[in-house]
A = this chain, B = another copy of it.
């Protein structure tokens, strides 16, 4: 059986296709009882509109979402909340992962353009402050609005939804320093990650303000588990900190694993703190005080900003939104 199309319904209802089109998408433009009849027939035939045909003529009502990976629960939840927000507003989402590869990221953007998406929400691949991928100029030329997620890029006309990283660092620092630990290890992201550096700056602010005698060591790793684990293992063979602060969830996981391999008892010999929640910690009975961000909020703002940009056709005037986290013990 072929797909039911507008003209099939039109034939049955004894009207033209355009009337059917109107009855289904702008019912106020069609006489009430015609409208009702058409909708009933559409229902019965199980009509499903062809977005390909629609998107060829008009806006697709679809937004593209790209994140580096869904294995990281932070992005998984962000995606979930974005999809939910978008659907509520009548937009579909096409979702891609860039898999930490610049090439795949570029492809994903191209594919989204291929699908005539109305706008893009993207968490770019790199934390590097100087990462400026080629596709930004393409998107700008095509007037496709972009909302950056979490990772900032220097581009004057692009708005974003970010975390208040300095604040996160500061709050977590205050929390840690309450304990008068002798030695604390901070495991940061890469040296040219703006996110990592801001979080670090916040921590340092807290430390300076507190005038504590705690010895604070800093390791620069990156935002993945593996490197953090290795570097913390090295560190632990020389020092024994009372607490370790991971500047994102992946780092904290790496630090935990390193500590386990040195036979420390988690949460007793060494206490852990994290920016980003370690959602599985509670299952293992380990308490990891953290900065939790309201991810629903995150998705909501990203979608709202994007849709405003789409519907006002002013990609370039929207402000950034900064989301502040809260300490959770």
Q: Is A76 an interface residue when CB atoms closer than 8 A count as contact?
A: yes
Interface contact B114-A48, CB-CB below 8 Å: yes
Interface size class, chain A: 35 or more
Q: Does A283 contact B (CB under 8 A)?
A: yes
* A15 CB–B CB distance under 8 Å: no
CB A140 to nearest CB in B, in angstroms, measures 9
- The residue that A111 contacts in the complex, of B1, B92, B143, with Cβ under 8 A, is B92
Taking A257-B282, A257-B283 as contacts, is the C-beta distance between A97 and B80 under 8 angstroms? yes
- In angstroms, Cα B73 to Cα A5, docked, is 39
Contact surface of A with B, Cβ cutoff 8 Å? 1-3, 46, 48-53, 55-56, 60, 69-71, 73, 76-77, 79-80, 83-84, 87, 92, 94-97, 99, 107, 110-111, 113-116, 138, 141-143, 225, 253-254, 256-257, 260, 266, 280-286
Partner of A52, one of B60, B225, B286: B60
Q: How far is the CB of A104 from chain B (nearest CB, A)?
A: 8
Among A55, A80, A116, A138, the most chain B Cβ lie within 10 Å of the Cβ of: A55
Contact in complex: A1, B83 (CB < 8 Å): no
Chain B nearest CB, measured from A81 CB (Å)? 11
Contact sample, A vs B, 22 pairs, CB 8 Å cutoff: A1-B142, A3-B142, A46-B138, A48-B110, A48-B138, A49-B114, A51-B114, A52-B56, A52-B115, A56-B56, A70-B76, A70-B80, A80-B99, A83-B96, A94-B95, A95-B96, A256-B284, A257-B282, A260-B284, A266-B284, A266-B285, A280-B283
Contact for A141 among B1, B79, B96, CB less than 8 A: B1
Judge whether A48 and B113 touch: CB under 8 Å: yes
> Complex: how many Å from CA A257 to CA B287?
12
Give A102 Cβ to nearest chain B Cβ, in Å.
Answer: 15
A225 / chain B contacts, CB cutoff of 8 Å:
283
Alpha-carbon separation in the docked complex, A94 to B117 (Å): 13
Residue numbers in B under 8 Å from A266 (CB-CB): 284-285
Shortest Cβ distance from A51 into B: residue: B114
What are the nearest 5 A-B pairs in CB distance? A260-B285, A51-B114, A280-B280, A284-B284, A1-B141
CB distance from A246 to the nearest CB of B (A): 11
Contacts of A282 in B (CB 8 A): 257, 260
Tell me, rounded to whole Å, the shortest Cβ–Cβ distance linking A262 to chain B. 10
Partner of A256, one of B94, B257, B283: B283
Q: Which residue of B lies closest to A285 (CB)?
A: B260
